[in-house]
Amino acid sequence: TPNRKVDRRALPGPDVTAGLEVYIAPRNDIEEKLVKIWSEVLGTGKEKIGIDDNFFQLGGHSLKATITAAKIYKELKVKLPLAEIFKTPTIRHLSGYIKGEERYEYLPVEAAEKRDYYVLSSQQKRLYILQQMEEDNISYNLPVVVRLEGELNKEKFDKVFMQLIARHESLRTSFGMMAEEPV
Protein backbone atom coordinates (compact mmCIF):
# COMPACT_ATOMS: atom_id res chain seq x y z
CA THR A 1 0.00 0.00 0.00
CA PRO A 2 1.12 3.65 -0.21
CA ASN A 3 1.63 3.55 3.58
CA ARG A 4 4.07 0.64 3.23
CA LYS A 5 1.71 -1.75 4.99
CA VAL A 6 0.75 -5.20 3.79
CA ASP A 7 -2.68 -5.30 2.18
CA ARG A 8 -3.86 -8.55 3.78
CA ARG A 9 -7.00 -8.66 1.64
CA ALA A 10 -4.86 -8.79 -1.50
CA LEU A 11 -2.86 -11.79 -0.27
CA PRO A 12 -3.85 -15.25 -1.52
CA GLY A 13 -5.59 -17.53 0.98
CA PRO A 14 -3.62 -20.32 2.63
CA ASP A 15 -2.89 -23.30 0.38
CA VAL A 16 -4.40 -26.12 2.39
CA THR A 17 -2.64 -28.70 0.22
CA ALA A 18 0.85 -27.21 0.60
CA GLY A 19 3.29 -29.68 2.08
CA LEU A 20 0.69 -32.42 2.42
CA GLU A 21 2.02 -35.78 1.38
CA VAL A 22 -0.85 -38.13 2.15
CA TYR A 23 -4.41 -37.41 3.17
CA ILE A 24 -5.48 -39.57 6.11
CA ALA A 25 -9.19 -39.44 6.87
CA PRO A 26 -10.60 -39.34 10.42
CA ARG A 27 -10.77 -42.80 12.00
CA ASN A 28 -13.14 -42.23 14.91
CA ASP A 29 -15.84 -39.95 16.31
CA ILE A 30 -13.42 -37.58 18.09
CA GLU A 31 -11.34 -37.09 14.95
CA GLU A 32 -14.53 -36.50 12.91
CA LYS A 33 -15.64 -33.82 15.36
CA LEU A 34 -12.19 -32.19 15.34
CA VAL A 35 -12.21 -32.08 11.52
CA LYS A 36 -15.64 -30.41 11.65
CA ILE A 37 -14.41 -27.84 14.22
CA TRP A 38 -11.23 -27.09 12.26
CA SER A 39 -13.25 -26.75 9.06
CA GLU A 40 -15.56 -24.18 10.70
CA VAL A 41 -12.72 -22.20 12.28
CA LEU A 42 -10.37 -22.29 9.28
CA GLY A 43 -13.14 -21.78 6.72
CA THR A 44 -12.19 -24.76 4.58
CA GLY A 45 -13.93 -27.93 3.45
CA LYS A 46 -13.86 -30.95 5.77
CA GLU A 47 -12.62 -33.15 2.93
CA LYS A 48 -9.39 -31.12 2.80
CA ILE A 49 -8.39 -31.72 6.42
CA GLY A 50 -6.55 -34.93 7.27
CA ILE A 51 -5.63 -36.09 10.75
CA ASP A 52 -1.92 -35.40 10.22
CA ASP A 53 -2.37 -31.89 8.81
CA ASN A 54 -0.89 -29.07 10.88
CA PHE A 55 -3.41 -26.53 12.21
CA PHE A 56 -1.03 -23.62 11.59
CA GLN A 57 -0.04 -24.72 8.07
CA LEU A 58 -3.75 -24.78 7.21
CA GLY A 59 -4.07 -21.08 8.11
CA GLY A 60 -4.53 -21.25 11.87
CA HIS A 61 -3.08 -18.67 14.25
CA SER A 62 -3.38 -17.82 17.94
CA LEU A 63 -6.86 -16.25 17.70
CA LYS A 64 -8.21 -19.16 15.68
CA ALA A 65 -6.58 -21.55 18.15
CA THR A 66 -8.49 -19.81 20.96
CA ILE A 67 -11.77 -20.20 19.05
CA THR A 68 -10.91 -23.85 18.38
CA ALA A 69 -10.26 -24.55 22.07
CA ALA A 70 -13.61 -22.95 22.96
CA LYS A 71 -15.46 -25.04 20.35
CA ILE A 72 -13.74 -28.21 21.59
CA TYR A 73 -14.94 -27.41 25.11
CA LYS A 74 -18.47 -26.77 23.88
CA GLU A 75 -18.75 -29.81 21.57
CA LEU A 76 -16.45 -32.39 23.17
CA LYS A 77 -16.74 -31.19 26.79
CA VAL A 78 -12.96 -31.10 27.26
CA LYS A 79 -11.17 -28.04 28.64
CA LEU A 80 -8.25 -28.00 26.23
CA PRO A 81 -5.40 -25.69 27.27
CA LEU A 82 -4.52 -23.33 24.43
CA ALA A 83 -0.88 -24.40 24.72
CA GLU A 84 -1.92 -27.94 23.76
CA ILE A 85 -2.93 -26.79 20.28
CA PHE A 86 0.54 -25.29 19.86
CA LYS A 87 2.25 -28.43 21.23
CA THR A 88 0.14 -30.93 19.29
CA PRO A 89 -1.21 -29.12 16.21
CA THR A 90 -2.58 -32.21 14.42
CA ILE A 91 -5.94 -33.90 14.80
CA ARG A 92 -4.25 -37.25 15.43
CA HIS A 93 -2.36 -35.91 18.46
CA LEU A 94 -5.17 -33.69 19.78
CA SER A 95 -7.53 -36.66 19.57
CA GLY A 96 -5.13 -38.73 21.67
CA TYR A 97 -4.94 -35.94 24.24
CA ILE A 98 -8.73 -35.50 24.33
CA LYS A 99 -9.38 -39.25 24.81
CA GLY A 100 -7.49 -39.20 28.10
CA GLU A 101 -9.06 -36.03 29.49
CA GLU A 102 -11.90 -35.63 31.94
CA ARG A 103 -15.24 -34.44 30.55
CA TYR A 104 -16.93 -31.31 31.90
CA GLU A 105 -20.45 -30.05 31.41
CA TYR A 106 -20.42 -27.02 29.13
CA LEU A 107 -21.97 -24.10 30.96
CA PRO A 108 -22.62 -21.12 28.70
CA VAL A 109 -22.20 -17.65 30.17
CA GLU A 110 -25.65 -16.18 30.67
CA ALA A 111 -26.32 -12.50 30.18
CA ALA A 112 -27.03 -10.63 33.39
CA GLU A 113 -30.49 -9.19 33.83
CA LYS A 114 -30.85 -5.49 33.06
CA ARG A 115 -30.54 -3.33 36.18
CA ASP A 116 -29.89 0.27 37.08
CA TYR A 117 -26.63 -0.76 38.77
CA TYR A 118 -24.51 -3.87 39.38
CA VAL A 119 -22.20 -5.05 42.15
CA LEU A 120 -18.57 -4.41 41.21
CA SER A 121 -16.26 -7.26 40.26
CA SER A 122 -13.24 -7.73 42.50
CA GLN A 123 -11.02 -6.03 39.88
CA GLN A 124 -13.37 -3.04 39.61
CA LYS A 125 -13.60 -2.77 43.39
CA ARG A 126 -9.79 -2.76 43.63
CA LEU A 127 -9.49 0.07 41.09
CA TYR A 128 -12.28 2.02 42.78
CA ILE A 129 -10.60 1.77 46.20
CA LEU A 130 -7.20 2.76 44.79
CA GLN A 131 -8.76 5.79 43.12
CA GLN A 132 -10.52 6.81 46.35
CA MET A 133 -7.25 6.56 48.29
CA GLU A 134 -5.47 8.88 45.83
CA GLU A 135 -8.04 10.98 44.03
CA ASP A 136 -5.41 12.93 42.07
CA ASN A 137 -3.83 9.74 40.70
CA ILE A 138 -4.17 9.54 36.93
CA SER A 139 -2.47 6.15 36.47
CA TYR A 140 -5.42 4.72 34.59
CA ASN A 141 -6.08 7.74 32.38
CA LEU A 142 -4.99 7.42 28.78
CA PRO A 143 -4.33 10.89 27.39
CA VAL A 144 -4.22 11.00 23.62
CA VAL A 145 -3.73 13.90 21.24
CA VAL A 146 -4.65 13.50 17.60
CA ARG A 147 -3.82 16.11 14.99
CA LEU A 148 -6.57 16.31 12.39
CA GLU A 149 -5.82 17.69 8.96
CA GLY A 150 -8.38 19.42 6.81
CA GLU A 151 -11.78 20.69 7.78
CA LEU A 152 -13.58 18.87 10.59
CA ASN A 153 -17.20 17.92 9.97
CA LYS A 154 -18.35 18.44 13.58
CA GLU A 155 -21.79 16.86 13.06
CA LYS A 156 -20.29 13.70 11.60
CA PHE A 157 -17.57 13.62 14.27
CA ASP A 158 -20.17 13.91 17.06
CA LYS A 159 -22.34 11.21 15.48
CA VAL A 160 -19.43 8.76 15.12
CA PHE A 161 -18.24 9.54 18.66
CA MET A 162 -21.72 8.80 20.05
CA GLN A 163 -21.85 5.54 18.07
CA LEU A 164 -18.51 4.57 19.58
CA ILE A 165 -19.82 5.22 23.09
CA ALA A 166 -23.03 3.29 22.34
CA ARG A 167 -21.06 0.30 21.04
CA HIS A 168 -18.63 0.00 23.97
CA GLU A 169 -20.26 -0.33 27.37
CA SER A 170 -16.99 0.35 29.18
CA LEU A 171 -17.09 3.92 27.84
CA ARG A 172 -20.46 4.44 29.55
CA THR A 173 -19.47 2.90 32.89
CA SER A 174 -19.43 4.98 36.05
CA PHE A 175 -19.11 4.11 39.73
CA GLY A 176 -21.15 5.31 42.65
CA MET A 177 -22.18 4.30 46.17
CA MET A 178 -25.29 2.34 47.11
CA ALA A 179 -25.89 1.29 50.73
CA GLU A 180 -22.25 2.18 51.51
CA GLU A 181 -20.99 -0.19 48.80
CA PRO A 182 -19.40 0.85 45.50
CA VAL A 183 -21.57 -0.07 42.52
Domain, as residue range, for 148: 122-182
Same domain, 170 and 90: no
Chain mean position to CA 181: 32
Query: Does any domain span residue 140?
Result: yes
One domain for residues 77 and 140: no
Q: Indicate if 59 and 141 belong to the same structural domain.
A: no
Provide the residue type at 29 as one letter: D
Residue 115 lies in a domain: no
From first to last of its 183 residues, the chain has per-residue pLDDT tens of 666 777 777 776 665 555 555 889 999 999 999 999 999 999 988 788 999 999 999 999 999 999 999 999 999 999 999 999 999 999 999 999 998 877 788 777 888 888 888 888 899 888 888 888 888 888 878 888 989 899 999 999 999 999 999 999 888 888 888 888 888
- Is 112 part of a structural domain of the chain? no
Q: Last residue of a domain, which of 42, 68, 99?
A: 99
Residues 26 and 89 in one domain: yes
Please spell the DSSP secondary structure of the chain, one letter per residue.
-TTS---GGGSPPP-TTTT--------SHHHHHHHHHHHHHHT--GGG--TT-BTTTTT--HHHHHHHHHHHHHHH-----HHHHHHS-BHHHHHHHHHTSPP----PPPPPPP-S--PPPHHHHHHHHHHHH-TT--TT---------S---HHHHHHHHHHHHHH-GGGG----EETTEE-
CA 149, 153, 158 angle in degrees (round to 5)?
115
- Give the number of other Cβ atoms within 10 Å of residue 55's Cβ: 23
CATH number of the domain within which 66 lies = 1.10.1200.10
| Residue 111 counted as domain residue | no
In a domain, 113, yes or no: no
CA 26 to chain centre: 28
The pTM for the full model equals 0.55
68, 99, 130 - which closes a domain: 99
